[in-house]
């Protein structure tokens, strides 16, 4: 089936695999590399759609598993699809639900036909097959949808990873056959754990199926960082250079830049919003635990170099006070800032690539940014 998604390359880094691209979707253009905020249940936690637009978000991720269970994909369909249901006028990507189902280790049974699982909400029993996952995503109406896959944990043995990878490949074929909406682009997902022979087999088999885009799943699940990067270094050259490449579940500033250098175009992760709700914010100098007592009388912005409206208007002391007092505004402000930080980091990255200065930009950022929490 053809796809309405168009992807063009605008520029490349001569020293790395980094590139700048443009995704044309039915709901607007998305510049890549791009970080996609996660709206698990049809909302990016505590953020209004207008705030997401204001900070520069042009695509978000919404979770198929959660919306299938509540409120139900048929209700979303009746509302006119996710865009109308959420009042979000830009692009949406839905995951297949595979990762969430696979994380329910004690509540599910995997077989070649699909996965039987119990709802984490009420214990009701459900069955999700590749065909059902596509049916649900067709009803939700996202611009980009994902093939149903079996995501393996870390660590797992080679034989387990091989079975899951080959099942994922077969499921990808079935998803492709079941997909009925040409206005939605279906991406395949490369699996295989940290085993390079399995990753190669997975990538080559999926490329033969000719998807309009490819995701790399099963990373950032507990493996050492160098294993994640070596896996990316292997996989990205195996994927078509004229298709977008999406690394699932990665969202720290340092990992974004290292992965862009290896040829990744798209990212998503709950990390920036999750740590914000617990009082940790990103700055150019590293992560800051803003709830710490050291910031009680710090009347400067979260990050003096940040141009977001939170940093223009509010102090560390005030945001710390809100978080300590468990005021909703505190987590909203921290969330806004963290998302803006990653979205603007990707914008700066795109500009650096087009200027031919990506490697210098990356080196300068990482020399200043400390991923461990800072103590003032």
Q: Are residues 146 and 224 in the same domain?
A: yes
pLDDT reported for residue 371 = 73
pLDDT digits (tens, 9 = 90+) for 47-98: 999 999 999 999 999 999 999 999 999 999 999 999 999 999 999 999 998 7
pLDDT reported for residue 2 = 64
Look at residue 376 and tell me whether its pLDDT is greater than 50. Answer: no
328 inside domain: yes
pLDDT reported for residue 82 = 98
Closest CA to 140 of 69, 188, 206, 34: 69
Q: Are residues 232 and 320 in the same domain?
A: no
* Residue numbers of the domain that contains 324: 279-374
Last residue of a domain, one of 269, 292, 316: 269
Q: Are residues 34 and 151 in the same domain?
A: yes
Q: Are residues 192 and 324 in the same domain?
A: no
172 inside domain: yes
Q: Is 122 a catalytic residue?
A: no
Last residue of a domain, one of 211, 234, 269: 269
Look at residue 205 and tell me whether its pLDDT is greater than 50. Answer: yes
pLDDT digits (tens, 9 = 90+) for 85-115: 999 999 999 999 877 766 776 778 889 999 9
Among the options 143, 149, 265, 268, which is catalytic?
Answer: 268
Look at residue 366 and tell me whether its pLDDT is greater than 80. Answer: yes
Q: Are residues 172 and 223 in the same domain?
A: yes
Tokens of 358: 């990506």
Look at residue 127 and tell me whether its pLDDT is greater than 60. Answer: yes
The CB density around residue 366, as the number of other CB atoms within 10 Å, is 14
Q: Are residues 108 and 200 in the same domain?
A: yes
Among the options 95, 149, 292, 298, which is catalytic?
Answer: 95
pLDDT reported for residue 313 = 98
Tokens of 315: 């102090």
Q: Are residues 223 and 298 in the same domain?
A: no
pLDDT digits (tens, 9 = 90+) for 279-305: 999 999 999 999 999 999 999 999 999
Inter-residue contact 280 to 289 (CB < 8 Å): yes
Residues above pLDDT 90, as percent of the chain: 91
Tokens of 149: 């896959």
Inter-residue contact 187 to 148 (CB < 8 Å): no
Q: Is 268 a catalytic residue?
A: yes
Q: Are residues 115 and 149 in the same domain?
A: yes
Q: In 18-49, which positions are buried (b, 16+ CB within 10 angstroms) versus exposed (e)? A: bbbbebebebeebbbbbbbbbbbebbbbbbeb
274 inside domain: no
The domain spanning residue 52 has which CATH number? Answer: 3.20.20.105
Q: What is the pTM of this model?
A: 0.96
Q: Are residues 253 and 287 in the same domain?
A: no
20 inside domain: yes
1 inside domain: no
Q: Are residues 185 and 263 in the same domain?
A: yes
Distance CA 97, CA 70 (A): 13
- Quick one: average pLDDT of 313-327? 98
pLDDT reported for residue 372 = 60
Last residue of a domain, one of 224, 241, 269: 269
Q: Are residues 159 and 218 in the same domain?
A: yes
First-to-last C-alpha distance (Å) of the chain: 56
Q: Are residues 175 and 32 in the same domain?
A: yes
- Mean of per-residue pLDDT scores for the chain: 95
pLDDT digits (tens, 9 = 90+) for 148-164: 999 999 999 999 999 99
Domains in the chain, number: 2
Inter-residue contact 191 to 217 (CB < 8 Å): yes
Residues above pLDDT 70, as percent of the chain: 97
Question: Where in 96-253 does DSSP place strands (E)?
Answer: 108-111, 114-118, 125-128, 144-146, 185-190, 214-216, 245-247
């Amino acid at each position: 089936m053809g796809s309405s998604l168009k992807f063009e390359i605008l520029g490349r880094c001569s020293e790395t695999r980094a590139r700048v691209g443009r995704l044309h979707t039915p709901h607007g253009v998305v510049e890549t590399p791009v970080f996609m905020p996660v709206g698990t249940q049809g909302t990016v936690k505590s953020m209004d759609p207008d705030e997401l637009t204001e900070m520069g978000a042009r695509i978000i991720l919404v979770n198929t598993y959660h919306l299938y269970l509540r409120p139900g994909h048929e209700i979303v369909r009746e509302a006119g699809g996710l865009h109308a249901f959420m009042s979000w006028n830009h692009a949406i990507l839905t995951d297949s639900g595979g990762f969430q189902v696979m994380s329910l280790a004690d509540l599910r049974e995997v077989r070649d036909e699909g996965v039987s699982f119990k709802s984490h909400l009420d214990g009701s029993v459900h069955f999700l097959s590749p065909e059902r996952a596509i049916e649900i995503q067709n009803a939700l109406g996202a611009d980009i949808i994902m093939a149903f896959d079996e995501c393996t944990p870390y660590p797992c043995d080679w034989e387990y990873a091989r079975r899951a990878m080959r099942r994922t490949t077969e499921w990808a074929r079935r998803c492709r056959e079941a997909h009925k909406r040409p206005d939605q682009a279906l991406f395949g997902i490369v699996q295989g754990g940290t085993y390079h022979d399995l990753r190669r087999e997975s990538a080559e088999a999926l490329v033969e199926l000719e998807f309009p885009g490819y995701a790399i799943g099963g990373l950032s699940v507990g493996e050492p960082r160098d294993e994640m990067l070596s896996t990316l270094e292997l996989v990205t050259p195996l994927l078509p250079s004229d298709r977008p490449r999406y690394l699932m579940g990665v969202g720290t500033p340092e990992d974004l830049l290292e992965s862009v250098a290896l040829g990744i175009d798209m990212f998503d992760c709950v990390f920036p919003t999750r740590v914000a709700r617990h009082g940790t914010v990103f700055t150019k100098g590293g992560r800051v635990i803003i709830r710490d007592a050291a910031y009680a009388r710090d009347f400067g912005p979260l990050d003096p170099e940040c141009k977001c409206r939170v940093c223009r208007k509010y102090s560390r002391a005030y945001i710390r006070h809100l978080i300590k007092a468990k005021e909703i505004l505190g987590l909203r402000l921290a969330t806004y800032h963290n998302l803006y930080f990653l979205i603007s980091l990707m914008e700066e990255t795109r500009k650096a690539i087009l200027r031919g200065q990506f490697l210098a930009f990356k080196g300068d950022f990482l020399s200043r940014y400390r991923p461990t929490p800072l103590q003032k």
